[in-house]
Amino acid sequence: MKVFHRYLLLQLPGWAFAVVVLYLLHLWLGLPPWAAGLLLAADVVKDLVLYPWLRRAYENEYVPVAARLAGETAEVVQELAPEGYVRVRGELWRARTLGGTGRTPAGTRVRVTGVRGTTLVVEPWRERA
């Protein structure tokens, strides 16, 4: 199902509730039908205008947290020989060097290139000119 269709289906109960409330306001307070229709239309338009900003909340793609770290720079906390620990965004992660060879001393900056399970794959960080 498309994201927009899912969004519309999830708005239907709110719109139905608005119809009931507007009908009761018409009965109890004499709200003119044209005003009730205008308020309902405003509610629907509001939901359609907000859709671009809410779209991501209705997507069902799940990206693991570790995969979102690809491209980030990290600092080696425990020597990578070839596995150890790095700090990324203030969090400690298990990491492995790209290719699984060599030693990377603590304090070295590395770049996250991928993830295998919950272990980050890193390579030496190079400043781009």
Of 57, 61, 110, the closest CA to residue 83 belongs to 110
Report pLDDT for 128.
58
97-117 pLDDT per residue, tens: 988 778 899 999 999 999 998
Cβ neighbours for 106, distance < 8 A, ≥ 6 positions apart: 76, 77, 78, 79, 84
pTM of the entire structure? 0.54
CA 119 to chain centre: 21
Whether the CA torsion 25, 30, 35, 36 is positive or negative: it is positive
Cα–Cα distance for residue pair 82/104, rounded to 1 Å = 8
Report pLDDT for 48.
96
